[in-house]
Amino acid sequence: MATKAEVLDFIRIYGDKMAEHRQELTDFDQAIGDGDHGINMNRGFKAVSEKLPTLGDKNIDDILKAVGMTLVSTVGGASGPLYGTAFMKAGTVLKGKEELSDQDVISAFEEGVGGIKFRGKAVQGEKTILDSMIPAIDAIKKSISEGNSMTVALEAGEKAAWEGVEYTKTIIATKGRASYLGERSIGHQDPGATSMAYLFQAAKEAAKKSGK
């Protein structure tokens, strides 16, 4: 079970991480993109954190939708529509929920990744957000199906996400700005995959904090 407080905590922790890693994500994007990923994500989550206090009495679905809308209207770039759509889509499968079962959490992640695939028309292996997100979700599903708690599953999810980030160093980008570099994109980790790995790290920390 994840409570609304945990969901809000997760968003807050993720926002803090985007502030903390703003320069790092920007540096990764300077290597293979246009050097704005950390700036974009930080701008979006700063707006989200200003919005959060007004969302306390909303249901989880409305909270996630509001976060998504805020990201869409403040981040810009490729990551704005992608992260924004992911949060909005995750919200739509949690209609009216004040608490989430493990299955709800998994459905939310799956809707989210579906939203990113729909908007960005990418598949796994193109050096994008998907390369950390898909393995993370797969690992969470596997861990839950083996009878583990969500905290343990999110730990496995985060680990898989970082492995996905490592994997992005070995492949050529075929989507997004980095694709213009062709072979020169090899050796660099994808900024979007990295920011997504922090999302699973934030989810894990929120779950751990609640002590379950």
Partner 1 sequence: MKKFINDVENVENEMLEGIVLAHPEYVTRLPGFDVLVRTDKKVGKVAIVSGGGSGHEPAHGGFVGKGMLDGAVPGAIFTSPTPDQVFEAIKAVDAGKGVLLVVKNYTGDIMNFEMAAELAEAEGIKVANVVTNDDVAVEDSLYTTGRRGVAGTILVHKIAGAKAETGASIEEVHATAEKVIANVRTMGVALKPCTVPAAGKPGFELSDEEMELGIGIHGEPGTERKPIQKADEIVNYLMDRILKDMKPVAGDEVAVMINGAGATPPMELYILNRRVQQILAEKGVKVFKTFVGDFMTSIDMAGASITLLKLDAELKELLLAEADTIAFKM
CB 161 within 8 A of CB 200: yes
- Dist. CA 207–CA 150, nearest whole Å: 7
- Dist. CA 23–CA 38, nearest whole Å: 6
- Dist. CA 86–CA 118, nearest whole Å: 10
Residue 132 engages ligand ATP in binding (rule: CB under 6 A): no
Among 20, 34, 50, 98, binds Mg ion (CB under 5 A): 34
Query: What is the token pair recorded at 136?
Result: 């993370």
Residue 82: CB minimum distance to ligand ATP, A = 5
Residue 205 engages Mg ion in binding (rule: CB under 5 A): no
Partner whose footprint covers residue 130, from Mg ion, partner 1, ligand ATP, none (CB < 5 to 8 Å by kind): ligand ATP
- Dist. CA 45–CA 32, nearest whole Å: 23
Q: How many residues bind ligand ATP (CB under 6 A)?
A: 24
Query: What is the token pair recorded at 5?
Result: 């407080």
- Dist. CA 179–CA 173, nearest whole Å: 5
Among 6, 21, 41, 80, binds partner 1 (CB under 8 A): 80
Binding site for ligand ATP (CB under 6 A): 29, 33-34, 36-37, 40, 77-79, 82, 116, 120-122, 128-130, 175-177, 190-193
Binding site for partner 1 (CB under 8 A): 26, 30, 32-36, 39-40, 43, 72-82, 119-120, 172, 174-177, 179-182, 184
Binding site for Mg ion (CB under 5 A): 29, 33-34, 36-37
